[in-house]
Each structure stands twice: as structure tokens, then as C-alpha cells.
Structure 1
Amino acid sequence: MCSVDEEITKVEEVTTHDSGLCSAAMVNVAQKLLAEAIGTFFVVFAGCGSVVVNKMYGSVTFPGICITWGLVVMVMVYSVGHISGAHFNPAVTTTFTILKQFPLKQLPLYMVAQLVGAILASGAVYLLFDPKAEHFYGTTPVGSAVQSFVLEIIISFLLMFVISGVATDTRAIGELAGIAVGSTILLNVLVAGPISGASMNPARSIGPAIVMRNYKAIWAYVLGPMIGTLAGGFTYNLVRYTDKPLREITKSSSFLKSVSRNR
């Protein structure tokens, strides 16, 4: 039998240990959020900065803007991907959460960090270049809002499909994730940039919209990427390779759950 003093000592040791674990976990989450905010800041700052500089001075060119977006995403993936996962995008984080590849309790924290990073970056661009309304560096449709909405769904689908392949499948070459994702963004901006602005990221569109008070068709740049990334993530899970025979996969009441368990 242990004495009362010994029991108290044991409780204090357990409490101290649990407290230490909680503190370490909180620090870890804080580091992830800071990395996510910094990464989103520089993605938006470089990308939107190239847009406004080109509109004001014409020295970047459209291909240069495409390359800037692709390169900055690639650079930041390699810089903080091992810390926060390098989402930089509320739609990507939401998709990972729904597919149970990211903890639900961290979803709102990540989204706030991403939005803060995007707004701060947009504010920095505005303060540095003092753009006029015609130099807007956000995303607005050139054609109809519906056209841009559909286009955002398609390019966001491709982006999430690629991210799922290189970031969640253990058979992929993880070291090439930054190159693959950055190249996908470059290609998407080349194709969709002249029409929709090629957002693929609600934070990228919301930041400049708030700073410059231009909310034209903002719904298309929030819903489009959300729908596209969800569709892309689910589709990759459907085509993900599994060595189990089809009859075993389809026995389950949920085909998607079976595929997810065998990824």
C-alpha cells in the first residue's frame, strides 16, 4: 500500500507530465499555424505583386505572372511543407479534413491563418504600390461569372488531384511534390488566368477583395475552388491503386471508405 504522500506525489508527476504534453502540442500547433500564415503571405505577396507590377509598369508579362505563381508555391512548399503541410489554401485544407487526412479541430485555425496571411500580403502590396482601381490584383471574371465559376471548379479539381497524388500516396516521389504542385499552378494560370484570374484559392481572392473593396463575383472564387478541390480529392481516392479484389472492396457499405482504408 502506498502512503497518502506517495499517492499525491504520483498524481503531481502525472499532472506535470500531461501538462508538458499539452504545452508541447500547443507549441507544435502554433508553429504550424505560423508557418501556414507565412507561406500564404509570400504566395499571395509574390503572385499578386507580379500582377500589380505588370498592370502598372508592364514589365512582368503574362507568362512571367504564371511563372511567378508556380515558382513561389514551389518554393514555399519546400520551405514549410514539412512543418505545416503547406496548404496555403482553405479549399485544400477543407478537402483534406473531409477525407480524414487532416484533424477537424485544426481546420478553423488553419483557415484563419491562411486568411490572415492573404490579407496581410494584399495589404502590403497595396501600401507598397498604391494601385488604382484599374490595377486590381484580385480575381474578377472577364466573361460571365458562371463561366469563371465553372473554370475555377475544373482547375481546382486538377490542382487537388495532383496534390492528392504527390502528397498523400506513399508510392509517389514525395521530394517532387513542390515541383508537381507548382507546375500545376503555372499551367492552370496559363489556361485560366486571362478568363477567371485562376484563383484556385479562396484566400487568394478574399485578401485583395477586402483590401481594395472589390467583391465582384467573389462567390465564384469561394465556391468554385471548394467544389473543385473536393471533387479532385474524392476522385483521386477512387482511382487510387489497391491490391484487393473488386469483390472485397464493394462488400463495404461505403465504397469510398474502403478505398480510403486501403490507400
Structure 2
Amino acid sequence: MTSKTKAFVGELIAECVAVFIIIVFGDSVAAMYSLYDPSPYKLAYWGVCIVWGLGVTTAIYVTGAVSGTHANPAVTLALACFRNFSWKKVIPYWVAQVVGGFLGAAIVYTLFSPVIDHYAAVHHLDRLHDGAGAGVFFTHPGDFVTPMHAFVDEIILTAMLLLGIFAITCEYNTQAPQANSGALIIGLLVAIIGASAGYLEAWAINPARDFGPRLFCFFAGWGGTALPSPQNYWWVPIAGPLIGGLVGAGLYQGLLKPFMPSQSRSTTTARD
């Protein structure tokens, strides 16, 4: 194995591990929120958002030095379009991210399966027909929200995510945090999105975060309630974030980056 190939394998492992970490923490707090009565989070929803955000922060600290921690197909696609990330790596990164989501869901299932079974029994539900406990693992439209409305929501919310990520990681942004604190700010950004709009459709904003656990649940007894899911919802948290990521990244690159002080000075110097 050449050093270049070895480095690429390391990147794929890191992407898998990053999403794995996010799902282990995020889906576990979703289980704490939805399966227990009284839930420790029902009157403290901000705590759920913080756990998801800190899961992202932890994933970045663990894997960032290896792969840059995209941990999200929407991020990978946006970086390929706007920041010269290799197109040859896009599909392998996506696969690694989905595998990480699948494995993370398997761990959460290992932890909470007795609680899921108890929840289903108490509420006279089953996985295959009623999707008992499905909200622990993957997203669905909230009250009064149709799949098409959720699709628009996911575009908007993921655009906000990528707008923030591109700003936080921009080398010309003099107000951006330094590298060691950038992970915390990105985690808080995820938490803010969840706290402000999470009830709409559980703020997937990441195709791997939804599809990896959804795929696991398909094989773990949820069947059609996972894939294709009621109203064929499965595609919404995939397509919406991919489109939204391009919108948010494009807005930053086109509307803000050209006016960053360092970028403006370098452009002026090159002209002179």
C-alpha cells in the first residue's frame, strides 16, 4: 500500500468514526428524550440540542487532523464544489459517512433495545407497522409538516449550517475562531439549528446522519417504516441537505468571501 493510498484509507476511517460518534451521542439522547416517561429532556429540549452539537464537536476533535471531519455528505459536496476538494473522494467519503451512521445506530440499539421493547409494549405498538421507537434513529415530519414542506425546511436549515461552516473555516475571515475553537463553534451552530427549528422534522441537515441509521433500522425490524418510510419520506433528508449545502456555501463564497479584508487586499495587490 502506497503512502497516498494509506492516507486515503485513513481519511475514510476518520469519516466513518466521525459520524459514528455523532450518532452514538445524538441517537442516544434522542432515546433519552422519547423513550422515558417522565423524560429528563421533555422540559429541557435545549439539552438535546447541546448533546447533538457537542457530539459534532467531539467528532471534529477526534478525527479532524486526519480527514478534516466533513462527517456530512452535504459538507463534502460543498467542499468539492467550492473549495477544491477532490471529486474522486466524494463518493468514498459519502459511503464511509453512511457506514458510520449505520454502525452508530447499531451501538445505540445495543444500548437501548430493552427500553425500546418496553416502550413498544406499554404503548401497544410494534416496529414494523407503527414504527415504535423509530424516532430514536431517523427523522420524520413533525406536527402539521408535509414531506414537501420538510424538503424546503431541510434546504433552508442546511444552507444555514454550511453558511456558518464556510464562515468559521474561511482563511480570510478575520472574525473566525482559531482552529482549536472552531470545532466548538460548529457544534454550537448545530445546537442552535436544532433549538430553533428541530421540531419541524428533527433537523437532519445531514444525509448520513439520517440514512445510515434508517438503513440499520430497515434490517433491525422496522422494515417499511424505515425504508421507504411513510409517504416515501426517506429521500427528503438526503436531497434537501445536499441542495441546501450548496446554497449556503454558494452564498458565502459569492456574497461574503470576496469582501473579506484579507481577500480584498490580496486581490488588490494582484491587480497592482
Question: TM-score surpassing 0.5?
Answer: yes
Give 2:148's match in structure 1, choosing from 123, 146, 156.
146
1:193 alignment counterpart: 198
Give 2:236's match in structure 1, choosing from 174, 197, 220.
220
Residues 108-257 of structure 1 mapped to structure 2, 5 A cutoff: 108-130=91-113, 131=116, 132=120, 133-136=131-134, 137=136, 138-142=138-142, 143-171=145-173, 172-175=176-179, 176-213=181-218, 214-215=226-227, 216=229, 217-238=233-254, 239-240=256-257, 241=259, 242-243=263-264
8 Å Cα contact 2:21-2:58 kept in structure 1: no
1:4 alignment counterpart: none
Q: How many residues align?
A: 228
8 Å Cα contact 1:166-1:173 kept in structure 2: yes
SS of 1:156's partner is helix
Letter in 2 for 1:188: I
> How far, CA to CA, are the matches of 2:33 and 2:77 in structure 1?
32
* Greater RCO (CA < 8 Å, at least 6 residues apart): 2
1:43 alignment counterpart: 22
2:40 alignment counterpart: 59
8 Å Cα contact 1:33-1:110 kept in structure 2: yes
| Offset, 1:181 | 0.9
Letter in 2 for 1:59: P
SS of 1:243's partner is helix
Identity %: 28
Give 2:71's match in structure 1, choosing from 88, 99, 116.
88
> How far, CA to CA, are the matches of 2:149 and 2:236 in structure 1?
9
SS of 1:199's partner is coil
| Offset, 1:191 | 1.7
Letter in 1 for 2:187: G
SS of 1:193's partner is helix
Letter in 2 for 1:194: Y
> How far, CA to CA, are the matches of 1:54 and 1:125 in structure 2?
14
Structure 1 residues 98 and 70: alpha-carbon distance in aligned structure 2, compared to 1, 3 A threshold: same
Letter in 2 for 1:223: A
Letter in 2 for 1:135: G
User: What is the TM-score when the length of structure 1 is the normalising length?
Assistant: 0.80
| Offset, 1:100 | 4.1
8 Å Cα contact 2:197-2:203 kept in structure 1: yes
8 Å Cα contact 2:101-2:208 kept in structure 1: yes
Letter in 2 for 1:185: V
| Offset, 1:192 | 1.9
8 Å Cα contact 1:48-1:125 kept in structure 2: yes
SS of 1:188's partner is helix
Task: Please identify the structure whose Cα radius of gyration is greater.
Answer: 1
8 Å Cα contact 1:162-1:180 kept in structure 2: no
5+ residue gaps, structure 1, are 1-21, 249-260
| Offset, 1:82 | 1.8
> How far, CA to CA, are the matches of 1:74 and 1:67 in structure 2?
10
Letter in 2 for 1:166: I
| Offset, 1:179 | 1.8
Letter in 1 for 2:246: L
**Which sits farther off after the overlay, 235-244 or 115-124?**
235-244
1:69 alignment counterpart: 52
| Offset, 1:243 | 1.9
1:9 alignment counterpart: none
